[in-house]
Structure 1
Amino acid sequence: MINQEQPFKGSDDGPPKVLIVDDKPSNIQIVHHIIKDQYQVLMATSGKRAIEICLEMLPDLVLMDVIMPELSGLDTCKLMKQHPELVNIPVIFITGLQGQHDENACWDAGGVDFISKPFNATTLKNRIKAQVTLKRQSDLLRRLAFLDGLTGVKNRHFFDQYLETQLMLARRQSQAICVLMVDIDYFKQYNDSFGHQMGDEALRSVAQALGESCRRPADLVARYGGEEFVVVLPNTPKNGVERVIERIQGAIAELDIHHPASATGILTVSMGGMIWLADYQSTEALLGEADKLLYRAKSLGRNRACIDANIP
């Protein structure tokens, strides 16, 4: 019986992505030949290009040469560890340098392993498998830690970190960002009428409707607390925000959840959205403005959205 090596299966769909970074294409081809049957292989011949590929593809592992022109492997790794979206990608250094000082420099740069050239193919595959397994297990634990246990959307802790990151990117790229606060109208009365079990079902249904209404990968839906949700829409102009609001209102109406305390007879939501471009201050300031707009929507009769923009 022939024992054929099977592609590695991780917690995500498809084979894990491994990025090989080396300024010599011949070295990349050697490693590619060894691991191509088990992994989706990405390639870069410079540190700068490696960063670009990491931001675009988010590989599960990077195999990094140390000595490269312009941006060394060590400096590339240091830049990755400073970026919030890349910090958790493990880096294995592959290099001909074998001194203790060189090895220590790899650890100091943030590498998780160090393989000297020439390397044994079996050793390389086992080191890669070990790090990819750890990466995917860590990713799963992070996802579980950041999920709201009742609704399945992201929780407040994840939202706080995500908004901070997106504000930083918006400042750097001079792009607008919108925070939309969403509150279920008369939810206490709904619980009083139908009980907390039905209330939980309503929360789950609303969370699902919000998630289906926010379609871009960077859009975020999180449970903010109680019956309140928050939506983050990066790089979204006012007309784009209005389209998302229309989709949310339509999706909530389609749920057709009976609610006798509502003026419409069905469950509805109120929304307040702040689109911010100029004079970024803090996440608290942006949230405060969105919350004021939510209060305005409630004071105007609920089942509506109030949005504003701080755009010069």
Structure 2
Amino acid sequence: MNYTELTPEERESLAAGYALNALDTDEIRTAEELLTRDPSFVALVRSFGAVTTALAEAPAPVVPSAGLRAGLLDAIAQTPQEAVAPAPAPAPAPAPAPASAPAAAPPAGPALSEPAVHSTRAVSSTGATRARGRRFRITWALAGLVAAAALVFGGVSLGRGVFAPTTGPEAGAQALNSLLAAGDLQRASTPVSGGGNATVVWSPEHGRAAIATSDLPTLASDRVLELWLIDGSGARAAGTFTPGASGTTWTLLEGDLKPGDSVGMTVEPRGGSQQPTTDPILVVATA
């Protein structure tokens, strides 16, 4: 999926699915590329992530605003549902030829005409299946959002043919969604020393930070990347990760982000280090 070719409706559905952890691998890669490159998409994820955050944190149901309820129901109403086509009636059997009639000669024509028809049908069927799958995933993501809103806000119903996911996001995805939904979210993008790019996002209000990396060089099997929260007294270990072979890798930093902290990254032995043992390949100030 190419993020530059998405329609506004597909972008909204992608943001909803990402907030609910309801995307396939290709869609996750597209969403994470957009998160590192497009602030407007970050805002979309924030808006959808706010619902999942409310679901996790709300102590009791509250009444939704009319705008939120109408917007959610309108999103489902506008999502195309696939109609089931009636099965074609069987063709009538040909009448038997009179016994005295000579056998009909085979019709003239190119020998490849029939396979060509089959090939066209196969391509058409494949395209329809892919489109149908996209629509069902979009509907599923939107339905999940409404289901979450129903649990938190009450009074929201699911339309016919809409199915909500049965499992919620993992803890790490929930924490990242909560961070991306922060009203004071800040971001900084920078090249990484040695190759690749990184975007650091952080929220002083939440006291959390995350990093998205892409196009990083392949590490030796006994090495990992380690993240650090750095202040005037030194560096605090904030977790390790191995970059993905392709696409964008998101990592939520461990520990609390304090005012004035910088985010750093080094290459360390597998298992991590208590203090940096190599020069940083990235340092981003959050002050």
Structure having the higher helix fraction is 1
- Shared fold by TM > 0.5? no
Question: Normalization by structure 1: what TM-score?
Answer: 0.22
Higher relative contact order (CA closer than 8 Å, sequence separation 6+) = 2
Q: Which has the larger radius of gyration?
A: 2
Question: Normalization by structure 2: what TM-score?
Answer: 0.23
